[in-house]
Amino acid sequence: MTSVQFKKMPHANDLALPSYESDSAAGMDIRAALESPITLKPGERTLIPTGLQMALPHGYEAQIRPRSGLAIRNGITMLNSPGTIDADYRGEVKVIAINHGQEEFVVNHGDRIAQMVIAPVVQLSVKEVNDLDETSRGEGGFGSTGMQ
């Protein structure tokens, strides 16, 4: 089985490593690593540290996504979602949270704030051409294949 390596930073020594919370979960929950609570007012966004650094295997990315429970109950989601962490990044993983809710939301040290999905990626060569092959869809864009 392929693995990902995590290193805890000093402000996260007491936190659990990311974990799958069910047998078939696609994403691992990641936690906030805070020296003091952060209060997000409605419409406010902030960068939340996780206290984790990681080494992904070549050919993989980590995608940062919202947690559905926080989204439906509190309106908390992740901007730039899914955010991509490249396999060669070694800095602290941080998430961009925004409060789309109507109430202030407090993030505490250790709260499960987002989820991380590890996915394979492929790098392709880039080639400029004068013409592209024809398809039945052609240049049809948004909504061009029907609304239902």
Query: 118-131 burial by CB neighbour count: b if 16+ within 10 A, else e?
Result: beeeeeeeeeeeee
* Residue 148 pLDDT: 66
Measured from the Cβ of residue 20, the count of other Cβ atoms closer than 10 Å reads: 12
Structural domains present in the chain: 5-120 (2.70.40.10)
Print pLDDT tens along the chain (148 aa): 889 999 999 999 999 999 999 999 999 999 999 999 999 999 999 999 999 999 999 999 999 999 999 999 999 999 999 999 999 999 999 999 999 999 999 999 999 999 999 999 999 999 999 999 998 888 877 776 766 6
Half-sphere exposure of 145 (CA within 13 A, CB side): 5
Q: Which two tokens stand for residue 143?
A: 């909504």
pTM of the model: 0.87
Measured from the Cβ of residue 18, the count of other Cβ atoms closer than 10 Å reads: 22
Cα(9)–Cα(119) distance, integer angstroms: 24
| CB-based contact 21:29 (threshold 8 Å) | yes
Tell which residue, 46, 27, 49, has the closest CA to residue 109.
Answer: 49
At 103, give phi and psi (nearest 5°).
-120, 155
* Residue 41 pLDDT: 98
Q: Are strands 28-31 and 19-20 parallel, antiparallel or unpaired?
A: antiparallel
